[in-house]
Structure 1
Amino acid sequence: VISYYGSDKAAYNGFYVTRSSLLRSPRDLIGKKVGMNTLGAHHEAMLDIYLKKHGLSRAEAERVERIVVPPVNTEQTLRREQIDVAVLGGILRDKALETGGVRKLFSDFELRGAFSAGTYVFTQRFLEQNPRTAGTFVTGVGKALDWSRATPRDEVVARMKEIVERRGRNESTDPLKYWQSFGVAAPGGRIAADELSVWSDWLADRGDIKAGQVRVDEVYTNEFNGGGRAAKGR
């Protein structure tokens, strides 16, 4: 019903190697290990799209080994040369860059430009029974996203720190100093069909679903998103 994270020039996922690595091109990745947070999701999709874009066949792409590594251990695993490539984003990426000694092969932003990558999901039943609640939630999230874009970064970080401290959960606010952007592409977090079809096309490409099995216009809607009511996905 609304996008809530994505990739842009500040909020992106990069595929990194050590500074001394000999890996330079997509074809160099054949037979190498790429560490990522999970399989079958954003990072693996970007890897496959990158390899396909640069001419690797499906059989060649399958020879690039994908390894699940807990995000907090990914940088260390790369530096210990237990993997050849590490997918890093957000605070984990920025801390690795601060330390130095790593080099970016490519990022999802460089691959696809700015795009929203993930959405909040409601069941159809909830939407039918609670349209007003759904509209309040979606419109509120959209306004918060727009506010974060239009407001100086320091003010956004200060507001988030205030919220964390006020809820009294004994949480550290230190990671917030690394916040740059939520990466959501469209105003109000409104969803675009091609932001979802990239996933269905990828799943069909690798044989997880049949081509045309998922109709993207049936799985999203902007109906509850304030001024976005005319841009419905269903």
Structure 2
Amino acid sequence: MSMTHRSARSAGFWSGSVAATKIRYVLWAFALTLGLVGQALAEPLEKTEIRYQGWAGQVTFPELAEDLGYLAPLKLKWVGNTISGPQDIQTVVTGDIDIGGAFYGAIIKLIAARAPIKAVVGYYGSDADTYYGYYVKEDSPIKGARDLIGKKVAVNTLGAHLEFVLREYLARNGLSASEAKQVTLVAVPPVTGEQALRQDQVEVAALNGVLRDKALERGGLRKLFADTDLFGNFTGGAYVLRDKFIKENPNTARKLVEGISRAIEWARETPPEEVRARFNKIVAERKRNEDASSIKYWKSTGVASKGGLITDQQLQVWIDWLVKDGLLKPDQIKASDTYINQFNYYRSGKAAEAR
């Protein structure tokens, strides 16, 4: 090949290389411009700090969402801990925190009392791995629902998940309303429920998670029934926001709920050992001087629907129960009036239409 030919090919190569580089640069600049335009067009968040209550030794889904990067630029502000869902959502109603979660029955009762809140994402429930069991001592004469008449049952709080499930168990097993009232519920901190049972302060204790597993490891207890025996796998409660918060901060509400729903789905789909590792990291980094030993017993979210999407059916079962128990009038409240899915990351078609 002549020098002339080699020079021509070399010139062609460099010419093509420079052209390709220019094209790549133009494409990069175009993509960058689109990104900047998208940021500029994105509606700004009305507020960037979200107040919430935590649970000692546990990781909430807002905390997980923040750690996974799903909330940025939102920041969480921890204002203290709670041990009760009803207390948590009452604190939302009073405006002392922005988001809180509780059992659906407690949410329905508050809304029926004209509390201006909406359920926005389901966050806990029961399945084969995560459930509430009602336990008696192994040698207890209690074998069924009728044996509970005149007995005491330890629950974490009154008017919430554990009371509703117990009342349903009694009703399904034929106890009349007057007979059911003879079963006494005793509010006992969850960490002392097992002790109260073993020391005969109560005849039954409702236990779940690490407290249940540790109690069973020590032996001497027998399961009377579980919430899953009555309802199967179900989502039992949701996070709520005030109507005013949603109206005044729609972009913030969307960012918050989308992030939480993504965190819930991450925990549902990720192997439990990885979730536990993430929880341990979060607890260690927040430095609240708490015992995180219970995390090793975490098995599942218990949430039955993708990303905590809420359905009429999830709430209707508790509305029906409240009507049956005389706490609500028939048709006093509709399930569809108690919640919205419009901010959930997994809403139908990811379209932000309210139902």
Superposition TM-score tier, normalisation by shorter sequence: over 0.9
1:1-234 mapped onto 2 (5 Å cutoff): 1-229=120-348, 234=355
Aligned partner of residue 143 in structure 2, secondary structure: coil
Give the drift of 1:132: 1.8
Aligned residues: 234
Give the whole-Å Cα distance in 2 for the aligned partners of 1:40 and 1:160: 29
Contact 1:188 1:225 in 2 (8 A): yes
Q: Which has the larger radius of gyration?
A: 2
CA distance 1:227–1:200, shift in 2 (3 Å) = same
TM-score, length-scaled by structure 1: 0.94
CA distance 1:12–1:233, shift in 2 (3 Å) = farther
Give the whole-Å Cα distance in 1 for the aligned partners of 2:232 and 2:245: 34
| Structure 1 residues not aligned, in runs of 5+ | none
Give the drift of 1:219: 1.0
Q: Once the two structures are superposed, what CA deviation does each residue of 1:149-191 show, in whole Å capped at 9, x if it has no partner? A: 2211111111111112222333333221111112111001001
Aligned partner of residue 56 in structure 1, secondary structure: coil
Contact 1:220 1:233 in 2 (8 A): no
Contact 1:219 1:233 in 2 (8 A): no
Structure 1 runs of 4+ off > 4 angstroms?
229-234
Aligned partner of residue 227 in structure 1, secondary structure: coil
Give the drift of 1:202: 2.0
TM-score, length-scaled by structure 2: 0.63
Contact 1:46 1:108 in 2 (8 A): yes
Give the whole-Å Cα distance in 2 for the aligned partners of 1:45 and 1:195: 14
Q: Once the two structures are superposed, what CA deviation does each residue of 1:137-157 show, in whole Å capped at 9, x if it has no partner? A: 112111111111221111111
Aligned partner of residue 154 in structure 1, secondary structure: helix
Q: Once the two structures are superposed, what CA deviation does each residue of 1:104-130 show, in whole Å capped at 9, x if it has no partner? A: 011101210111111111111221222
| Structure 2 residues not aligned, in runs of 5+ | 1-119
Give the whole-Å Cα distance in 2 for the aligned partners of 1:67 and 1:155: 37
Tell me which of the two structures has the higher relative contact order, counting C-alpha pairs closer than 8 angstroms and 6 or more residues apart: 1
Identity %: 49
Give the whole-Å Cα distance in 2 for the aligned partners of 1:145 and 1:129: 25
Give the whole-Å Cα distance in 2 for the aligned partners of 1:172 and 1:66: 28
